[in-house]
Structure 1
Amino acid sequence: MNDSSSKSVWRDRALLIAITLSSMLAPLNSTMIAVALPRLITEFQTNVAHASWLVTSYLIAMATLQPIAGKLGDRWGRRSLILGGLICFGGASLAATWAPTLEMLIGFRLLQAVSGAIAIPNGVALVREVVPDHQRATQFGLISSAISLAAAIGPPIGGVLTSLAGWRAIFFVNVLLILPALLLGWWAFPRSKPSASSRPFDWGGSLLLASVLASLAGFLSQMRQGGLPVSPGVAVAGVVALMAALFVYEGRHPDPIIQLRFFRKRAFAAASGAIALSNLAMYVTLLSLPIFLSERAGWMDSQIGFVLAAFSGLMIVGSPLGGRWADRWGRRIPTVAGLALFTLGLLPLVIQAETVPLAFLLPGLAIAGSGMGASMAGLQTSAIESLSPKEAGVAAGIFSTSRYLGSIVGSSILAGILSSSGNFHLVFWMVGSTAFLSVLVSLGLRDRPLSEAQS
């Protein structure tokens, strides 16, 4: 019994390490490429608008495909999808090192995003299935901390590798994460039979959902870049028409990808709404602060980097702590408290951004970062627990899509405000209001899974 128990413990640890490593791939590659963009523009003799599709197409694909991939995992099992996604990500990364044109590089980046979108929600769902509920938020907190760390170290890693060996070298970093994740996952991921279902898979709904999210994200992205091929009214009408077609089609399908009943679950709707709002506020803060401090306050790059480190560094620390608290005190209290701290820490920017001294700005951003980090595990755990384990994949996918859409919408609004008026005061008021709204929405979370609350 002792040998069997010990083997089970090591298998669970290997499973969690493999999922953590696979979850780090997406944020690492989304931030690492940003540093290499100037070198790519020069080598491929292109412009910023074209090169930015290396980032934009990646984010759109990640936001679009995760609910579909999660639904496939709910039906077909998670092991093969996660391992296949990791292999495909590795192949796309190695192919990207050879890409002779910008168009081919964008294609390989898109393949990376598709692979990541397959692996990530099914990894989250596997944690939901394997980890006991009294330890679940702690594990999600550790994974969130690793994701934040990957996003933070992406730019310096990208900068060093690009300077020493050229932009192609940054794609080799993925092998260091993928190989151990594959080896550990091959041993630790449980084998499961596909779930028996007489209902056909919702391929039509998958296509419509992908069209809606890609059109919305593409519309916002093109607005940000000021290059819409049609009038804004026509573009909005097209997106609305696709949404209407999706809702009508899904309402008639026996097993739809997006079931409106998911959002009738208070905890799921609250978690999805709160992550979208808080991520919008966080992303706008990260994007706007360097511009504001450089243009308006005349700060040096080193000073700006120090300020952003106070924000992102405390997120890394706050995530595992928030996970432990969510397991000890329930999901709602630590999450609401974390988002309240996030909002409180942003107040110096909201009240008087132009004249706020460093002595107030740094502690404020540290409080905001720690609060944002502390809220992540509770939000994710609450969203995944609000639906049955058989629907954990699609729940994880929709939750992740909400996070990405918050980032995409936030960056688009920021670009619209700065291009039209350059009013940073309005930007930070929007950030503070959105953060406060996320606190109110998070009040709808449950402390524990519904089955436990009723028992």
Structure 2
Amino acid sequence: MSDEAQIEQPAFRIGWILTTVALTTMLAPLNSTMIGVALPLVTAEFAVGLDESGWLVIAYLIVMASLQPVAGKLGDRLGHRRMILGGLLYFAFASIGAALAPSLYWLLAFRIQQAIAGAIALPNGTAIMRQVVPAEERGKRFGLVGAAVTLAAAAGPPLGGIMIEWVGWRAVFFVNLFLILPTLVLAWRFLPVLEKRASDHAFDWLGALMLLLVLAGGAGMLTGQMAAGTALQAGGFCIIIVLAVLFLRREWHHPDPVFQPRFFRRRTFAAVNVAISLSNLAMYTTFLVIPLLLADAPGWSSTEAGLILSVMWAPTVVCAPLGGRLADRFGRRWPTVGGLSIFLLGLWVVSGIGAEIALPVLVGGLSLAGVGLGLSSAGMQTAAVESVPSREAGVAAGIFSTSRYIGSITGSSVLPLLYGAGIGIDGFDRVLFMVLVAAFVAVLASLLIEDRPRTD
């Protein structure tokens, strides 16, 4: 494995860099889940429908999915430290604007700014870790950051509920400042100034615009929100496909593209992106369908549904650092394969809960799935950034994160079609069949990951 740009840092400083990256990375999932509990109050205050206020969630996911490869590429050229500091400041001002928004449309505008800021910071934190953390410790370190991300996602709804109860829904935006301000201080103090990637070519702005149009347009079509009819929807997909082909052809021949299609000729890079996209599709769809099933069943409250889902998040937080250690010791492939196999087994157990919803089966299956997610996550993320030269780690991290979001968007888009096709447990069985297929293919893809990815 080539590690040509390893930047030596003292151990204590690496610890502070890890803390800073973890805090920075927590912003995106925290704000992705915290908004959910505020939606009913936002809908009521601005006297709009849920179909309108729901764009606060949809737009955030689409922008986060679309912008990260571009932000990572900019970080490779301009410096990752600069991008993180700018992203954090941007997120702070966007959060203040959202908290003071006088209407839904102002709130949506600032919500999109939050997503842009988060997309700027996230891949650049991953790229810094790629360059400063020794190869033999990367799995463990990425596992710790992964645990922090999962913890933030899980903490979002209860934290948002507390803030709303005490202060009101605007507090879910103000509370970001308590995380951003200390993170800014740590980033200024500890994030290193790394060598930028020199280039004789101007930045690929046209490629960046085409990438945004392809990803944002595709994600928008998948959500179904842009479809006014079947013919229009089909036409929209055809336009997106043509634009994607033109974009890939242009980037293939560009001397310094914003999106490097040749990365996918690397077996490990292609495998981890397929695996993370499909495993996230399975995870996110399961996360959404369980409350739907319980809501249709007598005797289940939304609070109980939330507690049931926590049995999947808790093992993920605990097992992510362990998965990283295993990836350091045994290589990136087998901990990932093993983790995704346990994830698949857990989902198979969940699929057998039956019409009576057997609680031990549901809890046991979700717990197994959570263990599998935790064990596999660090190996996948580490392999993704190790399979390309470190000078291009930013754009690689952005593509990997975009693949994750594409899985979430696809799962949430297909869910209503499959669940609505049945009644109660019948609809649930249809969804779980798709989930099991996605998880199985993710396992197959992970078998192609190299134990120690090469960058040559």
CA distance in 2, matches of 1:389, 1:361: 42
- Match runs of 1:337-352 below 5 Å: 337-352=338-353
Residue in 2 that maps onto 1:288 = 289
Deviation of 1:8 after TM superposition, in Å, equals 2.9
Residue in 2 that maps onto 1:385 = 386
Whether contact under 8 Å (1:348, 1:356) holds in the other structure is no
- Answer yes or no: is 1:239 the counterpart of 2:240: yes
Whether contact under 8 Å (2:139, 2:378) holds in the other structure is yes
CA distance in 1, matches of 2:43, 2:156: 19
TM normalised by structure 2 equals 0.94
Whether contact under 8 Å (2:227, 2:233) holds in the other structure is no
Q: Deviations over 1:171-201 (max 9, x none)?
A: 1221121111111111111123533211221
Deviation of 1:259 after TM superposition, in Å, equals 2.0
CA distance in 1, matches of 2:242, 2:429: 35
Give the alignment partner of residue 433 of structure 2, picking from 426, 429, 433.
Answer: 429
Deviation of 1:427 after TM superposition, in Å, equals 0.6
Deviation of 1:255 after TM superposition, in Å, equals 1.1
Structure 1, unmatched stretches of 5+, are 1-6
AA aligned to 1:131 is V
Whether contact under 8 Å (1:219, 1:228) holds in the other structure is no
Deviation of 1:252 after TM superposition, in Å, equals 2.6
CA RMSD of aligned residues (A): 1.7
AA aligned to 1:274 is A
- Match runs of 1:297-446 below 5 Å: 298-422=299-423, 423-446=427-450
CA distance in 2, matches of 1:211, 1:139: 34
| Higher mean C-alpha deviation, range 132-141 or range 411-420 | 411-420
Residue in 2 that maps onto 1:4 = none
Whether contact under 8 Å (1:57, 1:110) holds in the other structure is yes
Residue in 2 that maps onto 1:178 = 180
| Higher mean C-alpha deviation, range 316-325 or range 192-201 | 192-201
- Answer yes or no: is 1:447 the counterpart of 2:448: no
Deviation of 1:365 after TM superposition, in Å, equals 0.9
Whether contact under 8 Å (1:222, 1:228) holds in the other structure is no
Q: Deviations over 1:399-430 (max 9, x none)?
A: 00000000000111101212344422111111
Secondary structure of the structure 2 residue equivalent to 1:346: helix
Change (3 A) 1:433 1:297: farther
Deviation of 1:449 after TM superposition, in Å, equals 2.9
Secondary structure of the structure 2 residue equivalent to 1:167: coil
CA distance in 2, matches of 1:345, 1:78: 38
TM normalised by structure 1 equals 0.94
Q: Deviations over 1:139-171 (max 9, x none)?
A: 110101000000001001111111221111111
Q: Deviations over 1:299-324 (max 9, x none)?
A: 23343223211111111111111111
Whether contact under 8 Å (2:66, 2:216) holds in the other structure is yes
- Match runs of 1:11-410 below 5 Å: 11-223=13-225, 231-296=232-297, 298-410=299-411
Whether contact under 8 Å (1:349, 1:356) holds in the other structure is no
Over the matched positions of the two proteins, sequence identity in percent amounts to: 48
Deviation of 1:355 after TM superposition, in Å, equals 4.1
Change (3 A) 1:297 1:385: farther
Change (3 A) 1:193 1:187: same
CA distance in 1, matches of 2:214, 2:82: 28
CA distance in 1, matches of 2:30, 2:307: 20
Structure 2, unmatched stretches of 5+, are 1-8
Deviation of 1:356 after TM superposition, in Å, equals 4.8
CA distance in 1, matches of 2:304, 2:70: 42
Whether contact under 8 Å (1:15, 1:189) holds in the other structure is yes
Secondary structure of the structure 2 residue equivalent to 1:255: coil
| Higher mean C-alpha deviation, range 439-448 or range 189-198 | 189-198
Whether contact under 8 Å (1:314, 1:366) holds in the other structure is yes
CA distance in 1, matches of 2:68, 2:152: 20
Residue in 1 that maps onto 2:5 = none
Residue in 1 that maps onto 2:6 = none
Whether contact under 8 Å (2:272, 2:449) holds in the other structure is yes
